[in-house]
Amino acid sequence: MDTLYLKYRPQKFEEIMWQDHVKKLFMNAIRSGKIAHSYLFSGPRGTGKTSVARIFAKSLNCENRVDGYEPCNVCESCKEIDAERSLDVIEMDAASNRGIDEIRAIRDRVVYLPSKSKYKIYIIDEVHMLTREAFNALLKTLEEPPESTIFILATTEIQKVPETVISRCQVLDFRRIPSINIRSKLETVCKNEGINYEIEALDHISSEAAGGMRDALSLLEEIARFSNNYITLSGTLSILGEGSTRMIESYVSSILEGNVDTLSTTIEMIEEEGVDLINFLENVVELASSRINDNGLTKIGKFAIDLIQLLKYEEKQFAFFKVMSIFEALKYKKDSNQFEKIEKVQPVNYEIKTVKSDVERLVDFYSKSGDLAIFSTLMQSDIKDRGDTILVISYVPIHNEILKSKAEQISEEFKSITSREVKFIFASSEIPLDKIEDDVREPIIKILSLFGGKVLPEGGEEVG
């Protein structure tokens, strides 16, 4: 839903909000013809980085520049750039083209002169997402840039850009746009679009957007669509409340980036807002199914579906949601010791059982292979490796059911991981084993590992 954003995207420097230092620098550079070979734009999303990059590119190649620095927006070159069909202005999103091949393709192409314009300009957005190899290839190009080639790199996370790349670039910081400025832009847009509004609603949208114009306009558009063209504060609050788009997107993207810190913050927000978790996850599934070509998102969609099933049987829903989400995020984080990390983020009152080494390898396998049902039930069960048999005692009846239904799969996978052929016994207990006295516990375990079954509290009766 970026119609408004695209429609009101700035077309010249004059329309860029709040980045006066950036505007001034480019106006002077263009007027004096002193253009650097590579720029790095750093700042939060929606603050105008790619808009400025495009305006700058248009202006450099414009056939009839206005006032010495503004693009005319009507000449052939300006129109081609706007339509994204210019051969001399190449935009690339590093979030989806992270690899060395794309950068090599650029490196191979930069030796050719611009096809018909003065400059050949490469705009690489979210440059921090490039792989290390791709960065190295890029660096080579930045070190010996061809005369008429300009690189504009943009990032929301400059700390992830190698120092060697930063030092080759002129770095420009983009600031968050104050919400008062965002609000006045939203007012203008509403008036133009014939949308009625309560000013308090626009205030709320502006502060939700956290300094990003793009988010502000997307939110405005979303809310207008649901509000029958009259945006009220209460309507805005109810739309932005449960499972709001931004929370979902932040949840999904922090998992895909393996960013546990952002994920934890998002999860805290979800908790504070009292969001219904099942509802929230259903929205995640919906988001995933609306973008089926996005591989990462499809995986998160599957994860959300599994998690919804499991949450239905969980008493400590929130703690479970948190642990599972962080585990999922760790899968996307390279070189991390998952079990070490989980202990740090483990919420209070949520016990992660310790497991033995072969068993630990099995659990680790499931955490990576993605069978969430097996993984989470094993994590919450007591597992006793007794040589010939492995006894898995579950404390939640449905866990026992899940494990029994997957028994064959589990023993086969255990065999292929450890080369050990053992018999798995799945038992359940209504009493935590560590609450049972020592001299009784051992015989119980022995009996369970021979016959399976269920441990009931004294006086309890197995109902069949």
**Of 71 and 243, CB closest to Zn ion:** 71
Report how far residue 324's alpha carbon sits from residue 366's, in angstroms, rounded to the nearest whole number: 12
Least Å distance between CB 214 and Zn ion? 24
Q: Least distance from C-beta 81 to Zn ion, angstroms?
A: 9
78/219 with CB nearer Zn ion: 78
Shortest reach from residue 24's CB to Zn ion, in Å = 21
The residue ranges that bind Zn ion (CB under 5 A) are 62, 71-72, 75, 78
CB-nearer residue toward Zn ion: 55 or 153: 55
CB atoms inside a 10 Å sphere around CB 236: 25
Nearer to Zn ion, 55 or 92 (CB): 55
Give strand pairing partners of 131.
none
Q: What is the 3-state secondary structure (H, E, C) of the chain?
A: CCHHHHHCCCCCHHHCCCCHHHHHHHHHHHHHCCCCCEEEEECCCCCCHHHHHHHHHHHHHCCCCECCCECCCCCHHHHHHHCCCCCCEEEEECCCCCCHHHHHHHHHHCCCCCCCCCCEEEEEECHHHCCHHHHHHHHHHHHCCCCCEEEEEEECCHHHCCHHHHCCCEEEECCCCCHHHHHHHHHHHHHHHCCEECHHHHHHHHHHCCCCHHHHHHHHHHHHHHCCCEECHHHHHHHHCCCCHHHHHHHHHHHHCCCHHHHHHHHHHHHHCCCCHHHHHHHHHHHHHHCCCCHHHHHHHHHHHHHHHHHCCCCCHHHHHHHHHHHHHHHHCCCCCHHHHHHHHCCCCCCCCCCCHHHHHHHHHHHHHCCHHHHHHHHCCEEEECCCEEEEEECCHHHHHHHHHCHHHHHHHHHHHHCCCCEEEEEEECCCHHHCCHHHHHHHHHHHHHHCEEECCCCCCCCC
Please choose, from the candidates 318, 240, 315, 236, the residue with its C-alpha nearest in 3D space to the C-alpha of residue 281.
318
Please name which of 390, 424, 392 lies closest in space to residue 407, comparing C-alpha atoms: 424
Name which of 78 and 213 has its Cβ closer to Zn ion: 78
Residue 91 CB, shortest distance to Zn ion, in Å, is 18
Could you tell me if residue 46 is left (phi over 0), alpha (psi between -120 and 50 degrees) or otherwise beta? left
CB of 71 to Zn ion, least distance (A): 5
In the complex with Zn ion, the residue whose CB is nearer, 75 or 139, is 75
Smaller CB distance to Zn ion: residue 72 or 269?
72
Instruction: Give the shortest CB-218-to-Zn ion separation in angstroms.
Output: 29
Pick the closer one to Zn ion by CB: 72 or 166: 72
Residue among 74 and 352 whose Cβ is closer to Zn ion: 74
Distance of closest approach, residue 77 Cβ to Zn ion, in angstroms:
6
Nearest distance from C-beta of residue 15 to Zn ion, angstroms? 15
Residue 62 or 329: the one with the smaller Cβ distance to Zn ion is: 62
Residue 73 CB, nearest distance to Zn ion (Å)?
6
Output 85 or 344, the one with its CB closest to Zn ion: 85
Shortest Cβ 9–Zn ion spacing (Å): 16
Taking the C-alpha atoms of residue 211 and residue 168, their distance in angstroms, rounded to an integer, is 28
* CB of residue 154 to Zn ion, shortest distance in Å: 22
